[in-house]
Structure 1
Amino acid sequence: MQTWLRDDIQQTAQGQEADRILRSCTHCGFCLATCPTYQLLGDERDSPRGRIYLIKQVLEGREPSAQTQLHLDRCLTCRACETTCPSGVQYGRLADIGRELVEQQVPRSRAAGLQRLTLRWLLPRRRLFGALLRLGQQFQPLVPSALRDKIPPRRQAPAWPADGRHRRQVLMLEGCVQPAMDPVINPQTARLLDQLGIGVVRTPASGCCGAIDQHLGHPETARQRIRRNIDAWWPAIEAGAEAIIVNASGCGVQVKDYAHLMADDPKYADKAERVTTLCKDPVELLLEEEARLEPAPDMPRAIAFQSPCTLQHGQKLGGRVEALLSRIGFSLTPVADAHLCCGSAGTYSVLQPELSRRLRQNKLANLKAGSPALIASANIGCITHLGAAADIPVRHWLELLQVKDGTNP
């Protein structure tokens, strides 16, 4: 694709990256077949190819409109188009650049601006969000209907294992909303690793991975959150932590991108590169321990796995969890259109509720077609979003596992 970017943009690192991405696009249209919003709406401006043209126009000096903003807002950033693209177009990065530029130029209504500001301000504040969620759980009938199904049932968290018992040590991003939305996932991950002889070093000073701000057009705030996490993790990294485990795939894809996002920061670039190298999804670690794993006795064997977009398209780990679960004894039911988004997509289910509900309805129909007893996933947003409308349990796949008797260290 030929480009003529504005001089003031062309001279920036952001502009040069955008120019490179645009030039890699060959207009082939393969992406249309796997874009969830194009399938629902049939408008090419709601497809990757259409949005690329809209971003290109902005970069070349055309003033964006509210319609430009709307079509970029409707993008899930699921990155299914990247998996499909034969030219390797890095659409997700281009979408972030486009959103940032349009956000700077197109004012939002007071209500829309306040909604986005509230999400960016509230969600990363773990304690405040947790306190408000507990209030919502206690008084759920009084919560506005638009938010009511965003409130999951309260679950009792198991105890964390004791610290310092193992030679092998890893860090774990505990996240911002996950500890409140599903308090079982993090300690269950730590307990499973503990049984495998791997200790989890907790870092209370770490927080939000930065993805919320990154995808809502505020990358500098995202970088501030990245610096905070790197500072919190660095002592343990220097002490020899072998990995940073991120059990929310949406956060994992962000942390794996820290090297790129901080490349122009002289103080943090090298540290960010190290963090990116250490970041692992749990499946990357557990595949090495597969022979020691088995299904937990209280879990059904017939399950459907919903592979989050951030796992299969963002981290390029599609099929890994499914294969592991199958080999250790689960029976995975078939899922049609497994590459399509469930509609959660971070804050998308709040900002685009109608499209999100339609995508969820389609996803649940496909997940339940094989009559599973449980749906497993790898991302807190997907788990909460699907669980609000499913009539069978939706759980993180790590909850389904245990270490075989006699193999504990």
Structure 2
Amino acid sequence: MQTHFSDADRQKPHIQEAEQVLRACVHCGFCNATCPTYQLLGDERDGPRGRIYLMKELLESPDDDTNVTAETRLHLDRCLTCLNCETTCPSGVEYHKLLNIGRAEIERRAPRPAAERLTRYGLRKMLVNPARFQTLLKLGQTFKPLVPAPLRSKMPPAPVNAGIRPAANRHPRRVLMLEGCVQPGLSPNTNAATARVLDRLGISVTPVPEAGCCGAIDFHLNAQQQALERIRANIDAWWPYVEQGAEAIVQTASGCGAFVKDYGEMLKDDPAYAARAQTISEMTRDIVEMLREAPLETLNLKESKRLAFQCPCTLQHAQRLGGAVENVLTTLGFSLTAVQDAHLCCGSAGTYSITQPELATQLRDNKLNALEAGNPEMIVTANIGCQTHLAGANRTPVRHWIEVVDDTLV
């Protein structure tokens, strides 16, 4: 794609990065064929190719040109950031990098209306602190009829009890685990089940309570500087344990895993953190990466279930681990049903199901129809956002796949 940046603009780091992405695009449109929002809306501007043109126009226009911002914001806000387009693209266009630049540029040039800013600020403050989130969740469950509908469907009536975790230093092999911000409240058993399964494989989980939210919520709500502060704080919290020999940082939410694996890229220009951030990214493992390398034959299951696996976008498109969970579950003896259009997003996408409820509901219902076509006993997934979004329809039960493995161990 041809660009028209001035020599002065080309001296700016974000324009240099944007131009590199833009020039890789050859206008082929393969991305639109797999874009969930383009399939729903049929508008070129709601597909990756159209959004790329809108961002190009925005970045090439002068700061005082306000004509492009409102339309561009609308269509960028509708983007799920599912990265299906990157998996499809034959030219290797790194769309997500351009999207981050475009969204930040709009926020800089044209701040949102006060109501939108308040909503986004409230989401950030409500979700990123586990203790605050759990307090608000309990209040919401107590007064559920008063909770706004988009939030009400996210609240589980009674999360599965977490149970007992094994001692942290039982085995020579030790890993760290990001507890997450909303998962301890919405699905407290997920991380406990992970620790029990890893313990059976001779791996101990060391808790690091100082590590907080991964930063993805702040970043994707365009509070990018606050996200970088969280990233640095997490690196500081993990680093002593890394120096003491922890072999990996395990993620049970694929959204967090995808974001932490990008720490090195996001802090590459920070001389104080670049090297450590890259090390953290290289050490980060989704739980399925730990299990697929483990001696699964040592795990004995007392039963198997008929499952449908919903592969989150952050697992298959961002981390490129599509098929990994399915292979582990099949090896363990579970029966998996076929899922049509498994590459499409369920509509959760972080806070998207709250900020874009109409589109998110359509995507969720389409995904559930595909998942339920094989009559599974249960739907399993690998990300807390997808789990709560799908479960909010009150149809087939939805859990994290590692919990089902833990439940069936002899």
Q: Judge same fold: TM > 0.5, yes or no.
A: yes
Q: Distance in 2 between matches of 1:234 and 1:193?
A: 22
Show the counterpart of 1:20: 20
Taking the aligned partners of 2:174 and 2:401, their CA distance within structure 1 comes to: 22
Cα distance in 2 for partners of 1:233, 1:111 equals 37
The equivalent of 2:178 in structure 1 is 173
Residue in 1 that maps onto 2:252: 247
Measured after TM superposition, the shift of residue 7 of structure 1 is: 4.5
Alignment TM-score, normalising by the size of structure 1: 0.96
Q: Identity over aligned residues, as a percent? A: 57
Please give the alpha-carbon distance, in whole angstroms, between the structure 2 residues aligned to 1:35 and 1:317: 19
Name the amino acid aligned to 2:154: K
1:263 equivalent to 2:262? Answer: no
8 Å Cα contact 1:293/1:401 also seen in 2: no
Deviation of the 1:292 alpha carbon: 2.3
**Shift in Å at residue 10 of structure 1?**
2.2
Tell whether 2:219 aligns with 1:219. no
**Superposed CA RMSD:** 1.4
Q: Is the 8 A contact 1:213 1:221 kept in 2?
A: yes
Give 5+ residue unaligned stretches, structure 1.
Answer: none
Among 98, 101, 121, the residue aligned to 2:102: 98
Structure 1: distance between partners of 2:8 and 2:310: 43
Out of 321, 325, 331, the position equivalent to 2:325 is: 321
Offset of residue 58 of structure 1: 1.3
| Contact 1:6/1:61 (<8 A) preserved | no
- Give 5+ residue unaligned stretches, structure 2: none
- What is the CA–CA distance in structure 2 between the aligned matches of 1:113 and 1:350, rounded to whole Å? 14
Q: 1:197 aligns with which of 194, 198, 202?
A: 202
Preserved contact between residue 296 and residue 400 of structure 1 (Cα < 8 Å): no
Q: Distance in 2 between matches of 1:225 and 1:120?
A: 12
Q: Hey, what's the Cα distance between the residues in 1 that align with 2:337 and 2:376?
A: 6
Kindly indicate whether residue 282 of structure 2 is the aligned counterpart of residue 277 of structure 1: yes
Amino acid at match of 1:196: L
CA distance in 1, matches of 2:289, 2:308: 20
Instruction: Go from structure 1 to structure 2 and tell me whether the alpha carbon gap of 1:203 and 1:7 turns closer, same or farther (over 3 Å shift).
Output: farther
CA contact (8 A) 1:171 1:241 kept: yes
Partner of 1:131: 135
Assess, with a 3 A threshold, how the Cα gap between structure 1 residues 131 and 9 changes in structure 2: closer, same or farther: farther
Instruction: Report the Cα distance in structure 1 between the residues aligned to 2:338 and 2:224, rounded to whole angstroms.
Output: 38
TM-aligned CA deviation for residue 404 of structure 1: 6.2
Cα drift, residue 8 of structure 1: 4.8
* Counterpart Cα distance in 1 of 2:300 and 2:216: 33
Q: Which residue in the other structure is 1:31 paired with?
A: 31
Provide closer, same or farther for how the CA distance between residues 293 and 390 of structure 1 changes in structure 2, counting only shifts above 3 A.
farther
CA distance in 2, matches of 1:269, 1:203: 21
- Paired with 1:362 and 1:295, the residues of 2 have a C-alpha distance of 32
Q: Partners in 2 of 1:255 and 1:8 — Cα distance?
A: 33
TM-score of the pair, normalised by structure 2:
0.95
Report whether the alignment pairs 1:293 with 2:335: no
CA separation of 1:404/1:152 partners in 2, compared to 1, >3 Å: closer, same or farther?
closer
SS of residue in 2 equivalent to 1:400: helix
AA in 2 matched with 1:131: T
Shift of the 294–318 alpha-carbon distance from structure 1 to 2, 3 Å rule, reads farther
Q: CA deviation at 1:166?
A: 1.1
Give a deviation string over 1:65-109, Cα, whole Å, max 9, x none: 211101000000000000000001111111111101011112322
